[in-house]
Structure 1
Amino acid sequence: MMKTVTEYKDYRQYILDYYSERKRSSAFTWREFAKLAGFASGSYLKLVCDGKTRLREEGAKKTAFAMGLLGFEYDYFVLMVRYESAKTNREKKKCFEEMQALSAANHVKILGSDLYTFYETWKHSVIRELAVAMPGAKPNEIAKVCRPAISAADVSESLRFLLKSGLLERDIKGNYHQTNRSLTTGRLKVVSVAIHSLLRQMGEFALEALDKLPISERHFSGITMGMTAESYEKVVVELTECRKRIVSIVSADKNVEKVCRLNMQLFPLTENLETVTAGKGEEK
C-alpha cells in the first residue's frame, strides 16, 4: 500500500510512486496520467519525475487533483512543489513551516520534522549534551552554564521537545540518556535548511569566542591555499574522515567537563580562475 503524502519530502517521488501503484493494478500510462492532469504533452509528468523539468504552481494543483488528493493532502502536495521551487533558504524555511503547521492541525507527523526542529537552533544540541553530563540538574542550573545565556524556561522547553522526539530518554531515577550518541541528517533535504540556520548561529558564536575567550580555551587555525577541483574533493573526504575520528575520540569520554563546538569550513576566496581566464580570451 502506498504511503501517505505527508511521509514524502520529494514531490517527484510521490508522483512516481502514485504512477507505479496505478500501473501495478491497471494499464495506466504516462499519457493517460498527463491527460487526467490537463497537460498537453503526454510525457510531461514522466519528464518531471526524471528531473528534466519541474511542476509550477498551477501544474502542482492540477496534478494533485488528478491523483485524488483532497483537503490538507492537496495543500501539502502543493507546498512540497513550492518548497522545491523556492530560490532562497528563507523561502524554503517558510514553506516547510507551513507544511509542519498543516500536518499538526490535521494530527499527522511529517518525515524529518523532529530533526528540522532540532537543527533549527543551537539550544537543542547543547542541552542534549548537558542533560546527560549534569545528572539531576534543574533547568535553571543547566541554563547557567550555557554560552550565550538562556533562560530556565528555554531549557525546559528544549527538554520536553527532546523527550517527545525520542532524542533523549529518562530513566526511573530521572536521569537523561541519549538514544543515539550521534545524529545524522540522512537524505532529508529539508533538514539542510535548518542546518544552514544552525551553522550561521555557530559561526556567529565562533566570532564571539575569538574576541572574548582566552587562547587557552579556544583553538582557531586556518590555511589559505590554491586548489584544483580534484584536490578539493579529496580534502572534503579527508575532513569527513577527520570528523568521524574526532567523534570516536569523544565518544569514549565518560565524564563530560564542557560542551564544545567544532566548525569545519572550506570555502572559496576567489572566482574560478579558469572561468575568468576563458572569459577574457573571448573578449579579445
Structure 2
Amino acid sequence: MKRNPIDTPDIFKFHDIRDYLNQWVSVMKNNDKKFSLRKWAEKAEVSPAYLPLVLSGKRTLTEQALIKFIPHMSLSKEQITYLKQLRILSEAKSLAERRQALNRLQKIKKYKQLNPQDLEAYKYLNNWTHVAIRELTSVEGFKLDERWIQKKLKTKVALSKIIKAIKFLLENKFIKKNKKGQVEKPKHKIVCSGGVYKLSMSQFHTQMLSLAAKSIFETVPERRNLIGQTIAINPTDFDKIKDIMSSAQDKIQEIVKESKNPSVVYYITHLAFPLTKESDESNHE
C-alpha cells in the first residue's frame, strides 16, 4: 500500500534555514516513526554528530552538506532552488553574497506573494535616506519637497534619489498626507525576520557607520558625540555591557518622547565589537 506524502512546512514562508529545517524535522518525527536524525544523516553520508550541531546553530551548514541532505527531503525543483538561496542568506559572511541570494529569492513568484512585508522592510532599510526623510517629517516646518529635503540633509543626495525615496515612502505608507495636506509619520510596524532581517540591518548599519566616519570631519565637535574605549574583558561579562547599552537607549527614547519642537534628525547608536579573537577561535584555524 502506497503511503500518502507527508505535509511538510511551506518552505516559502521561511527566512532562516535553521527555522525551516527544525520545523521540517519536527513534522517528520511526528509523522514518520522510522525517521530520525541519525538515519537522515546516514542516508546523506554525513556524520550523525554534525546535524544536531547545525540545527542548534553551533555549526555552519555548508553547501556541500546541504546538497547531500536535499535528495532525502522530497522537494520540488523550485523548493530546492529556494532552500539553497536561503542557506546563503542565513550563513554567508559576505554582504554581497547575501544580497545576491535575496535578489534571487525575489524572482521566485511564490516568495513575493507570501512575503510582501519582508521585502518592503528590506527596501526601506536598504536606503538610509528613507529612514532620514521619514524622521525629518517630525521636524517643524517640514516640506515634502525634494529641494527642501536636499538642503536639510548633511550628505549630498541627488534630487532624483530623493524623489524616488519620497515616492517609496508614500506608496508604502511610511509617511502620509492628512486632510490638511500636512505630512505625518504614521505608526508603521516594520516586519522583517531571519536572513532578510540580518541582511537589511547589516546594510543599514554599514551605511550609517560610513556617515558616522564622515561626521568626524564634516560636523563640528559641539554637534556630535563620539565616545569609545578599547578594553580587555572576560567574554562572560559582555551580556552585562549589552544590558547597560540597552538601558541607555531606553533612556534616550524617554528624552525623545518629551522633546518639544524638534529641528534636526540625529542617528544615535552604541557599538561594541571584538578587535581580537577568543582562544577557541584561534585554535580552530
Q: Give the TM-score taking structure 2 as reference length.
A: 0.75
Tell me the C-alpha RMSD between the 2 structures.
3.9
1:111-260 aligned at under 5 Å gives the runs 112-133=118-139, 134-180=141-187, 188-260=194-266
Partner of 1:8: 14
User: In structure 2, which of residues 36, 44, 49 is the aligned counterpart of residue 39 of structure 1?
Assistant: 44
Q: Give the TM-score taking structure 1 as reference length.
A: 0.75
DSSP 3-state at the match of 2:266? coil
Q: Give per-residue Cα distances to partners, 1:217-260, cap 9 Å, x unaligned.
A: 22333334444435443222111110111022113335320111
- Higher relative CO (CA 8 A, sep ≥ 6), structure 1 or 2? 2
4+ residue segments displaced more than 6 Å: 181-185
Identity over the aligned pairs, expressed in percent? Answer: 18
Deviation at 1:46, TM superposition (A): 5.7
Q: Give per-residue Cα distances to partners, 1:115-146, cap 9 Å, x unaligned.
A: 33322232111011123435552233222211
1:11-90 aligned at under 5 Å gives the runs 11-25=17-31, 27=33, 29-30=35-36, 34=40, 38-40=43-45, 47=52, 48-51=54-57, 55-57=61-63, 60-61=66-67, 63-64=69-70, 66-90=72-96
Give aligned pairs, total: 274
1:103-118 aligned at under 5 Å gives the runs 103=109, 107-109=113-115, 112-118=118-124
Q: Structure 2 counterpart of 1:157, which letter?
A: K
Judging changes above 3 Å, is the alpha-carbon distance between structure 1 residues 86 and 212 closer, same or farther for their aligned structure 2 residues?
Answer: closer
Judging changes above 3 Å, is the alpha-carbon distance between structure 1 residues 56 and 138 closer, same or farther for their aligned structure 2 residues?
Answer: same
Q: Structure 1 counterpart of 2:194, which letter?
A: L
Judging changes above 3 Å, is the alpha-carbon distance between structure 1 residues 148 and 111 closer, same or farther for their aligned structure 2 residues?
Answer: same
Q: Structure 1 counterpart of 2:89, which letter?
A: Y
DSSP 3-state at the match of 2:194? coil
